[in-house]
A and B are shown apart, each in its own frame.
Chain A
């Protein structure tokens, strides 16, 4: 039987988002004993996570007050923290997972791994020089791409891959009959995603259909009864508004067939219970990706309730606003958003897709042809233009990289090359912000050199060679797309020339 400790000292939403990891660990390791370490202010939220065998709580409020108050002895703060951590150390852990990104989580991970030397560790911890040490390439890549505009993976995927797991959440099957549609009821009538007007339109549309039953759900600890009563008054008090608490929230969510939600804690609970979500957001990065989930990304104006209803009905053609709709499709990495409706920038779309293709090629030795095929369906002119630009940049980067390597070797002979080397390296690192496909390996390289505790030339040279290898994979990925685009073009030319008649081989264009 395995003993695994999950550490998360982040904010509440991050803690709730570890639900999918807990579920996956239970699926992968039947009989696993799962424990959780967090702050005591999150105690209630731990109760609504999927079942945990034990929870360790750091009494942060108490510790803080003891250290800050003039009347309190500092020793009490030290004793309190020591008591929690020594309790943690009493268990013989097989693995410790840091499932968050806070500094405190990284520090406590280092404390525990320094004390319990043989334990397997996954995630981020703090090194001797206060540098962050990712336990493997997945956590390293996640950290490197944190601010990258076209980050191709979401944090749940990184967390799974970093723990050698595949993100494959299960969907709960429901009985036939009218579907129970949970609607997140924000406490502010002017809320960005589900304001009063949108809610009215949405509820009216759902009420007309006999296939759905609307259930309005207030988020945990969210109270504005005056507004909720006003909303109910509008519908002659016919609505069922539920104010869930920590004891009943999981049960309530599990009875739903689908949840429509803006920014809420409810969406994490729905994801954990295998309930599909229609999520309204202004940032795709915030959205929960999973089977049957739909994401409605808001533009300048509010999304109309009728548009949300159309999405619920699977009707993506009668949309009326400036928003985008995405479904989620499973691929070899996990789940990714697939655009169904709405205007978009082609180059951005290609960057996102090719980023994902590249990550698969780099770390999983998987070249996902469905991605290439999806891109080659896009207008050929745009794809060609993207390819041309990427190839030019890739050539420039290869040149700069070779020059940097050459100058690094020359420094060994004479210090006079030092300035040239620094200039060349600086130019190379400049491509980290170029928003091209090669930005991914360059950002990874940049992270490595900035966080490496080993500052000698040999280590640096190794990082440069690793970058060179990754740039080669970028070049081959670009070539893969080029071949796919060429084949697509060839196919369409053949269709144009021969219609449905199969041409003899000698007639085919070379």
Chain B
């Protein structure tokens, strides 16, 4: 478990009159003016955000920074942007929502999920494939430093056992079970499939195709000849 325990949870008001969460005695936004702080935060990261219409925000707080982020991305990309927010604390998200502070826009929130589970979520993985800009919200990041550090240092379990547990097709599960437990998909593709000169089952071809796709250059447009 890397989601930190909340010992004390409060919602306080800033001098500017905005609600802010105070967790374990740490304020997640400025106690003076969270909106001004949020605007400055987005402007400080302008260069990073200019070149990317997909942003992974680490930490929601009460979403003041998310509001400015939506405005910023909309100005640049109209509706062609996407924000994914990871917030370990589920209560923050529900309070933010019930206080009406969550901005409308192309936002998805993943909350209360351990990093290892996040990295098995298809929607989340597809978002990562788009190489989003990663923007940590400093106060949230510091409060949940173990969680976010674990998240950033995450490496997928490449063992065959882990792979088999995530495979949907029973036929492929059975096929992979014939290989030694210590094998990896990399090993199967590079050693077992490459050296197999007797392709018997359709799945031998399936994994050979997988190997070729892995090694194939993307966006090839070699000179095509008619002969």
Contact = CB atoms under 8 A, between A and B. Distances in A.
Interface stretch (A63-71, A171-179, A465-473): A63-71
Contact of A60 (B156, B165, B216): B216
B107 to A, nearest CB: 22
A10 B218 contact: no
B165 to A, nearest CB: 8
Interface string B156-192: 1110001111111100100000000000111000000
B214 A63 contact: yes
Contacts of B47: none
A41 to B, nearest CB: 6
Nearest to B168: A79
A62 B218 contact: no
A13 interface: yes
B81 interface: no
Interface stretch (A25-33, A104-112, A438-446, A479-487): A104-112
A65 B169 CA distance: 21
B187 to A, nearest CB: 11
B206 A85 contact: yes
A68 B221 CA distance: 22
A73 B162 contact: yes
A11 interface: yes
Contacts of A68: 214
Nearest to A89: B202
B106 interface: no
B213 A81 contact: yes
Interface residues of B, number: 49
B201 interface: yes
Contacts of B186: 67, 74
A124 interface: no
Contacts of B220: 11
A409 B142 CA distance: 84
Interface string A105-134: 001101100110000000000111110000
B98 interface: no
Contacts of A128: 198-200
A258 B119 CA distance: 54
Nearest to B131: A65
Contacts of B172: 78, 82
A146 interface: yes
Given A64-B218, A82-B168, A110 B156 contact: no
A420 to B, nearest CB: 31
Nearest to A103: B212
A488 B205 CA distance: 57
Interface string B208-227: 11101110101111111111
Interface stretch (B3-11, B12-20, B28-36, B121-129): B121-129
A13 B226 CA distance: 10
Contacts of A10: 224
Contact of A78 (B162, B210, B226): B210
Contacts of B216: 60, 64, 104
A72 B206 contact: no
Given A62-B129, A76-B125, A70 B155 contact: yes
Contacts of B44: none
A155 B225 contact: yes
A320 interface: no
Interface stretch (A201-209, A282-290, A322-330, A356-364): A282-290
The size class of the interface chain A forms with chain B is 35 or more
B130 to A, nearest CB: 10
Contacts of A64: 213-214, 216, 218
A70 B157 CA distance: 9
A229 B55 CA distance: 37
A73 B166 contact: yes
Nearest to A145: B227
A423 B162 CA distance: 56
A293 interface: no
Interface string A73-96: 111111101110110000000000
A10 B202 CA distance: 21
A114 B202 contact: yes
A317 to B, nearest CB: 29
Contacts of B166: 73, 75-76, 79
A309 B224 CA distance: 27
B224 A11 contact: yes
A41 B197 contact: no
A154 interface: yes
B146 interface: no
A58 interface: yes
Contact of B225 (A76, A114, A286): A286
Interface in B97-131: 119-120, 122, 125-126, 128-129
A388 interface: no
B197 A129 contact: yes
A404 interface: no
A68 B208 CA distance: 16
25 contacts: A11-B221, A11-B224, A13-B224, A61-B218, A67-B186, A71-B155, A72-B125, A72-B129, A73-B166, A75-B162, A75-B167, A76-B122, A81-B209, A81-B210, A111-B205, A114-B201, A128-B198, A129-B198, A151-B227, A153-B227, A154-B227, A155-B227, A285-B226, A286-B226, A287-B226
Interface of A: 10-14, 17, 41, 58, 60-79, 81-83, 85-86, 103-104, 107-108, 110-111, 114-115, 126-130, 145-146, 151, 153-156, 263, 283, 285-289
Interface of B: 119-120, 122, 125-126, 128-129, 154-158, 162-169, 172, 184-186, 197-202, 205-206, 208-210, 212-214, 216, 218-227
